[in-house]
């Protein structure tokens, strides 16, 4: 049995090399003209080069399309160049941010900083003294406590929106959306007003965690709602048809089916709040020493550590701030990749 | 042979009366569902309660005045709290941020929806999502150490060539930590959110109309102008407003790159600006109990403004998405 050779489908609409020659020529001429302008006029430097390149590219693409076709085509070319540049602008800052964080943060990074705190270290002490153990422990505490508070509330909210579908579902959804926009500083002020002024407590990691929980609830609720919406209604109907009550259907069918999606929602919430700084400034006090009690006494967190060292302003404390930023970014990116990994898995939601 | 006609079994009574467990379940879930309303209510209540005295003594001057004077106790003078300059400064840096972020975001959303090659779309969406996940303190440090030296140079160029326009005038040679730089940092922070919302809205453009435009011989740009923009206008504006809301509430990133001065100045390149959120952090450390109440009042104003902007933005986006 010989297999018949199937001819490769030809694509007469595809762009062949001959057709790209004019475009390539325009690109080369654009770059050359830009070099010439930068070389022979007083405009110098990288900034001038980029700006001139942009303007020349606009003019060149407009001219070539205008000559070959008409005014509409010229307008199309101009807009194409601008849209491409906008796309470039979105990528560029992230590249710069990641590059600078790694370049400036890697110097202060060593295993030693995870085993000591800053209790006896002066701000201008060399980098091999002191560390951010207290900050890492603080961040662990506040993220854990904030999750414990916000995850039940967030998931209950999403269950209300998708399972109970009460009369007020539209209103609740609207308010949850609005709540995700409240400034983090307001959450900090609110907790300060309640926990410190009204109840007379002192700074603690718990207070910071409560402020973060407020910011985490909308993220968890909205993501969980999206996940629960994806669970096919057949499952719910099957559960009810077999005689299950709504409670048992939700608890034993809907939630297990949505499990990995709900975990994604929680991690997304954690990633949202792990780097928050402003509410912590008002609620945690910012200790330099390790504080293992989350309910009493000043404590720190990685963003707070970065903030404090940045404000100190000495050369080594700035270096410390950058290593803190690097550690923070690594943590945030780990959470971020986890959500990607979990939501990317096929089969379950 | 025949016996009496078989008696039918009694009819089963079917009710939809929920079981006890379901009642509990519904009550608990409903309670949880309303938590966000309760929390929002509590926030406004507590901040208002703490700031009430300041609102009473300052009256409208709290919003319009631009003096923040905390006299020493031995002076015995009345304190003055007015956040007019801060509100003005917040609006200025928010508008500067939108001025840069809006065209770039809409352009990038168009790029992702209609221009980008297939292989580039996924990585670029990933880049935008990562940008959205970067903590604001990171933007603050990056803005201060990396962006600011460049931005000062750009500001000098703007002043040199456009200095005749009053807003680019420079009464003093102080270019660092200006509203212009704070606006740039904020622009970079809100680009991801405006881009992703615009992209979602553009993705909902009816395909038949897009194809109809192409079939009539439209260029890509004509198609976008006549189909995509009219359809998605509301959503894009809503996305921009969400970005504005985020910019207004941003605290630490603005604090690092903005010199907070209680004065209304129109020169955006000058090292003097205002932001309600950053001012709260700035004053919080050394605030006495009464000043703290004024900060609570400022927080209340900030809360109301952002809530209003968010309400409006979500309303517009939801309406556009439903159509």
Same domain for A277 and A211: yes
Q: Is A247 among the domain residues?
A: yes
Average pLDDT (B117-132) is 91
State the angle between helix axes of A205-230 and A184-191 in degrees (0 to 180), rounded to the nearest 10.
Answer: 130
Check residues A155 and B285 and name the one with the higher pLDDT. A155
Same domain for A37 and A73: yes
Residues lower than pLDDT 50 in chain A: 346-349
Same domain for A195 and A71: no
Query: Across the interface, do A247 and B284 touch by the CB < 8 Å criterion?
Result: no
Same domain for A141 and A97: no
- In chain A, positions 50-79, which contact chain B (CB-CB < 8 Å)? 72-73, 75-76, 79
Q: Is A120 among the domain residues?
A: no
- How far, in Å, CA of B195 to CA of B107, rounded? 8
Q: Domain residues of chain B, as ranges? A: 80-322
Residue to mutate among A74, A97, A240, A311, with most B CBs inside 10 A, is A97
Model confidence at B63: pLDDT above 50: yes
| A114 closest CA partner among A100, A86, A133 | A133
Q: Is A10 among the domain residues?
A: no
Query: Across the interface, do B46 and A217 touch by the CB < 8 Å criterion?
Result: no
Out of B26, B32, B115, the one facing A80 most closely (by C-beta) is: B115
Say what the alpha-carbon torsion angle B8, B12, B13, B14 is, to the nearest 10 degrees. Answer: -140
Model confidence at B78: pLDDT above 50: yes
ipTM greater than 0.85, yes or no? yes
pTM of the predicted protein model:
0.89
Query: Across the interface, do A172 and B36 touch by the CB < 8 Å criterion?
Result: yes
Same domain for A34 and A141: no
Same domain for A289 and A331: yes
Q: Which residue of A has its CA nearest to B286?
A: A282
Model confidence at B322: pLDDT above 80: no
Lowest mean pLDDT among A133-142, A286-295, B40-49, B274-283: A286-295
| A322 closest CA partner among A163, A43, A98, A156 | A98
Out of B134, B281, B315, the one facing A97 most closely (by C-beta) is: B134
Domain that residue A270 falls in: 133-344
**Average pLDDT over chain B, rounded to an integer:** 89
Q: What is the pLDDT of residue B6?
A: 75
- In chain A, positions 109-148, which contact chain B (CB-CB < 8 Å)? none
Chain position carrying tokens 């009816």? B206
Same domain for A185 and A74: no
The count of domains in chain A is 2
pLDDT tens for each residue of B182-220:
999 999 999 999 999 999 999 989 999 999 999 998 999
Same domain for A219 and A281: yes
- How far, in Å, CA of B309 to CA of A331, rounded? 32
Residue A233: CB atoms within 10 Å: 7
| Phi and psi at residue B50, to the nearest 5° | -70, -30
- Whether CATH 3.30.70.60 fits B80-322: no
Q: Is A271 among the domain residues?
A: yes
Q: Count H helices and E strands in chain A, helices first.
A: 14, 0
Tokens of B31: 């309670």
pLDDT tens for each residue of A281-291:
999 988 888 88
CATH number at residue A223: 1.10.3720.10
Q: Is A65 among the domain residues?
A: yes
Chain A residues in contact with B142 (beta carbon < 8 A): 96-97, 100-101
- In chain A, positions 314-343, which contact chain B (CB-CB < 8 Å)? 318, 321-322, 325, 328-329, 332-333, 336, 340
Beta bridge mates, B260: B273
Q: What is the pLDDT of residue A349?
A: 40
Q: Among residues A89, A107, A125, which one ends one of the domains?
A: A107
Contact A138, A205 (CB under 8 A): yes
Out of B28, B42, B191, the one facing A90 most closely (by C-beta) is: B191
CA dist B123 → B118, B130, B243 (Å) = 10, 10, 23
Q: What is the pLDDT of residue A348?
A: 44
Tokens of A150: 């916000």
Same domain for A340 and A219: yes
- How far, in Å, CA of A221 to CA of A34, rounded? 52
Q: Is A290 among the domain residues?
A: yes
Out of A76, A163, A282, the one facing B220 most closely (by C-beta) is: A76
pLDDT tens for each residue of A17-66:
777 887 788 888 888 888 888 888 777 777 778 888 888 888 888 888 88
């Amino acid at each position: 049995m010989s297999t018949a050779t199937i001819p490769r489908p030809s694509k007469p609409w595809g762009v062949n090399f001959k057709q790209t020659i004019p475009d390539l020529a325009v690109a080369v001429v654009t770059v050359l003209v830009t070099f010439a302008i930068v070389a022979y006029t007083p405009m110098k430097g990288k900034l001038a080069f980029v700006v001139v390149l942009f303007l020349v590219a606009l003019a060149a693409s407009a001219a070539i399309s205008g000559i070959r076709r008409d005014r509409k085509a010229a307008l199309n070319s101009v807009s194409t160049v601008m849209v491409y540049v906008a796309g470039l602008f979105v990528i560029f800052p992230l590249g710069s941010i990641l590059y600078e964080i790694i370049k400036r943060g890697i110097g202060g990074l060593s295993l030693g900083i995870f085993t000591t705190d800053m209790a006896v270290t002066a701000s201008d002490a060399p980098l091999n003294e002191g560390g951010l153990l207290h900050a890492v422990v603080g961040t662990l505490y506040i993220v854990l406590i904030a999750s414990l508070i916000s995850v039940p509330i967030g998931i209950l909210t999403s269950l209300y929106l998708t399972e109970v579908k009460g009369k007020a579902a539209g209103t609740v959804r609207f308010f949850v959306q609005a709540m995700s926009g409240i400034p983090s500083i307001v959450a900090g002020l609110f907790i300060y007003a309640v926990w410190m002024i009204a109840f007379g407590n002192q700074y603690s990691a718990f207070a910071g965690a409560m402020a973060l929980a407020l910011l985490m609830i909308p993220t968890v609720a909205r993501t969980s709602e999206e996940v629960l919406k994806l669970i096919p209604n057949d499952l719910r109907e099957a559960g009810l048809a077999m005689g299950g009550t709504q409670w048992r259907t939700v608890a034993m069918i809907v939630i297990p089916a949505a499990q990995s999606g709900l975990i994604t929602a929680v991690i997304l919430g954690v990633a949202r709040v792990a780097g928050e700084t402003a509410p912590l400034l008002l609620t945690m006090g910012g200790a330099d020493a390790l504080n293992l009690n989350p309910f009493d006494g000043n404590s720190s967190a990685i963003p707070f550590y970065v903030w404090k060292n940045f404000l100190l302003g000495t050369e080594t404390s700035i270096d410390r701030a950058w290593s803190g930023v690097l550690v923070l970014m690594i943590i945030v990116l780990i959470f971020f990749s986890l959500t990607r990994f979990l939501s990317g898995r096929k089969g379950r939601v | 042979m025949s016996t009496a006609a078989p008696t039918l079994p009694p009819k089963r009574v079917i009710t939809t009366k929920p079981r006890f467990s379901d009642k509990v379940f519904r009550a608990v879930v409903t309670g949880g569902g309303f938590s966000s309303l309760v929390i929002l209510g509590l926030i406004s209540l507590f901040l208002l309660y703490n700031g009430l005295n300041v609102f009473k003594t300052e009256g409208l001057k709290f919003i319009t005045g631009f003096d923040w004077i905390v006299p020493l106790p031995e002076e015995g003078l009345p304190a003055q709290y007015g956040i007019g300059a801060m509100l003005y400064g917040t609006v200025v840096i928010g508008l500067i941020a939108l001025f840069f972020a809006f065209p770039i975001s809409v352009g990038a959303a168009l790029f992702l929806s209609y221009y980008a090659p297939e292989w580039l779309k996924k990585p670029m969406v990933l880049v935008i999502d990562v940008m959205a996940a970067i903590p604001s303190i990171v933007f603050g440090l990056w803005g201060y150490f990396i962006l600011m030296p460049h931005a000062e140079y750009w500001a000098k160029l703007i002043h040199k060539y456009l200095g005749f326009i009053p807003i680019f005038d420079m009464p003093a040679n102080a270019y660092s930590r200006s509203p212009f730089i704070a606006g740039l940092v904020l622009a970079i922070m809100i680009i991801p959110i405006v881009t992703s919302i615009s992209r979602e809205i553009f993705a909902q453009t009816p395909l038949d109309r897009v194809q109809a435009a192409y079939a009539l011989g439209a260029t890509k740009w004509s198609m976008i102008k006549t189909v995509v923009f009219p359809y998605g206008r509301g959503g894009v504006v809503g996305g921009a407003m969400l970005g504005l809301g985020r910019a207004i509430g941003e605290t630490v990133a603005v604090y690092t790159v903005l010199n907070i001065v209680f004065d209304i100045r129109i020169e955006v390149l000058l090292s003097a600006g205002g932001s309600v959120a950053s001012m709260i952090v700035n004053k919080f450390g050394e605030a006495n109990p009464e000043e703290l109440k004024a900060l609570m009042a400022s927080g209340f104003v900030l809360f109301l403004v952002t809530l209003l902007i968010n309400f409006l933005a979500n309303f517009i986006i939801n309406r556009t998405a439903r159509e």
